[in-house]
Chains A and B, each alone.
Chain A
């Protein structure tokens, strides 16, 4: 009898729960650490701000893991309404037929308010935003001014030539790790070629059609990677595996290394660890090259197909909430990611907060995104690009470790990358680039 009572009350509870669940929707994200804290804070604030909808925000432990789970979930029809995907998966998603463009389902929003650099990466050829930019980052340069000051350097280097000069001074003064990087393609290939106006692939990095081919293996990128290898030989640069910390940004935060190229998204942890010692600047250029814009990194929010009614309305309300100026500014404060709309940026500047060290990345990053652009600095439209990043990483790491020359590594990466692009073209045969 007692058991029956418990069962009955459990049943009632569960039906009551479904009644409340009517406007509940799932949002999957990939970030961890301080960014995850900020995302959860935004979810809680959204849920507290109104009673109609409930956002159920679920961390997936990484961008790639999130994408894997989304693929499996979509194939079995259990996918969330809203999902955060990272920059490199953009084309795979655009052609997947698993998402609906945000601009199409929310035509009333003033999408023109989004920063140009954010728009060009995530919009269709007709200028329609496919996803809502969320945690926008870009590449900037970090320096530990205490360590630079010890060798009499007062300014963050603006060019690679200056950076090497500072690095040599540091090395002569006995510093073991003047510069650090992980040589990830996001840093040494994508952001590098965008701001140096060099193409990664033909057809304007794929914007012109799926029959693009990789062409980064000759020209500035190849020179830059050869330089990186040479600087490492000289003891000026350390890769992840050479550092005690095992990871470049941790090595910088712990004071093991004096300078690094990293995402604005790394700022929060660097600032927490080093405080006023950390100074940032736009990523260095080679002398004599005109500076172009850097690309937006991080991730954006995609609405997945197959949801309608209240769930979709709830997701839209959440997207509208996240777009609010104050919400963006709070997110910037907690993470170092940049505001992605003009109005949020203006509000941040007007409030005078932009001068504060906590918000240092906002203006710097946006400034870097807003440099004059060209056809090669809009973004990437290259299929299976996530896999290409792995191929690039594998080949160049082998070259850094002495297994092959850098040129051979780049040529091999180009050949394997082209094979990927051809397979992508065949997989999506008959599909138009949106």
Chain B
């Protein structure tokens, strides 16, 4: 009976079909169209699509703005994901101990997950407002001390802080679960052998946490690409002077504000290749060093 059930060739496909249909319409079709448009010169209102071969790619690849933006995006990917993971790890290590009130603290730390990135952007923009925000008193004392509307470094600091704040909860939950699944006996045995907290961290906790660390790195890197859009759009719109114009935002501006559908599609294709390469690197190279067995 069960054999016949599993031998039906079409059944798995039928069961997977809802997912496949959704994937087709919302992922494969747009990806296909992006690649199609990247080889065509497309009129905004339609009606005059012409095949231009590699010309769009030549244009994009010879545009210094594209390379600056791509470089900025890669930097953001690394800095944003590492800062948020390190912060979440510190918090998770602190919450993992059996100290008083830690169940409450764990709950409170999860709240920001419920806030949309765009709302976080608006809130932090207000917090860091140079004239009304928390740093305004310092601006009164030292004029020009803080102005993220003018100084790109300040803008980046503001965006990274907002990103860390929004990324912590999810990463924190995963890391905390990982830490809690490490058997108590290992800690106790190590403590009896005279290992202090730091030694236990590096020799027991971190090595046993690698599966969780790997998954948060993968997720955070992917999220740093998509999640940055809402932050940039609400906080800096790519400014000041284009300093925070990440590739995702540039694609949006080129495609929707500037009606350059072909250029936006070409950059989307390039971005997809980069993301695919990064993800492949993570799974093919990094994952080999992850110990799933305990």
Interfacial residues, chain A to chain B (CB-CB below 8 A): 64, 67-68, 71, 74-75, 92, 96-98, 240-242, 244, 246, 384, 386-387, 390, 394-395, 397-399, 401, 403, 416, 419, 423, 426-429, 431
Contact = CB atoms under 8 A, between A and B. Distances in A.
Contacts of A242: 150
B241 A395 contact: yes
B277 to A, nearest CB: 28
Q: Please tell me the size bucket of the interface on B.
A: 20 to 34
Given A97-B45, A398-B240, A429-B50, A384 B149 contact: no
Contacts of A96: 43-45, 47
B50 A92 contact: no
The 4 closest A-B pairs by CB, nearest first: A398-B241, A387-B258, A241-B149, A96-B45
Given A241-B240, A246-B149, A397-B241, A390 B257 contact: yes
Contacts of A423: 41, 59, 260, 263
Contact of B257 (A244, A246, A387): A387
A68 B45 contact: no
Interface of B: 41-48, 50, 59, 65, 129, 131-132, 147, 149-152, 238-243, 245, 253-254, 256-260, 263
B242 A387 contact: no
A387 to B, nearest CB: 3
B32 to A, nearest CB: 16
Interface centre among A71, A98, A386, A429 (most CB of B within 10 A): A71
A35 to B, nearest CB: 21
Given A75-B45, A401-B151, A428-B48, 11 more contacts: A97-B45, A98-B45, A246-B129, A384-B258, A384-B260, A386-B259, A398-B241, A399-B241, A401-B241, A426-B41, A429-B50
Contacts of B258: 384, 386-387, 390
A68 B41 contact: no
Contacts of A74: 45-46
Contacts of A97: 43, 45, 47-48
Contacts of B65: 416
A68 B258 CA distance: 9
Select the residue from B45, B149, B242, B254 with max chain A CB neighbours within 10 A.
B45
A92 B240 contact: no
Contacts of A419: 59
Interface of B is mostly: loop
Contacts of B259: 67, 71, 92, 384, 386-387
Contacts of A98: 45-47
A124 B4 CA distance: 73
Contact of A68 (B48, B132, B241, B257): B257
Nearest to A401: B150
Contacts of B44: 71, 92, 96
A390 B129 CA distance: 24
14 contacts: A74-B45, A74-B46, A241-B150, A241-B240, A244-B131, A246-B131, A384-B258, A387-B254, A387-B260, A390-B257, A390-B258, A394-B245, A397-B240, A429-B50
Contact of B239 (A397, A416, A429): A397
B147 A241 contact: yes
A1 B37 CA distance: 54
Contacts of A71: 44-45, 259
A397 B243 CA distance: 10
A344 to B, nearest CB: 32
Contacts of B238: 394
Contacts of B50: 429
Contacts of A64: 257
B45 A390 contact: no
B126 to A, nearest CB: 11
B240 A401 contact: yes
Contacts of A427: 41-43, 48
Nearest to A99: B45
Contacts of B254: 387
Nearest to A241: B149
**Which one of B47, B48, B129, B151 has the greatest number of beta carbons of chain A within 10 Å?**
B48
Contact of A75 (B46, B257, B260): B46
A394 B241 contact: yes
Contact of A428 (B43, B131, B132, B242): B43
A323 B131 CA distance: 45
Contacts of A68: 256-257
Contacts of B147: 241
A302 to B, nearest CB: 12
B38 to A, nearest CB: 14
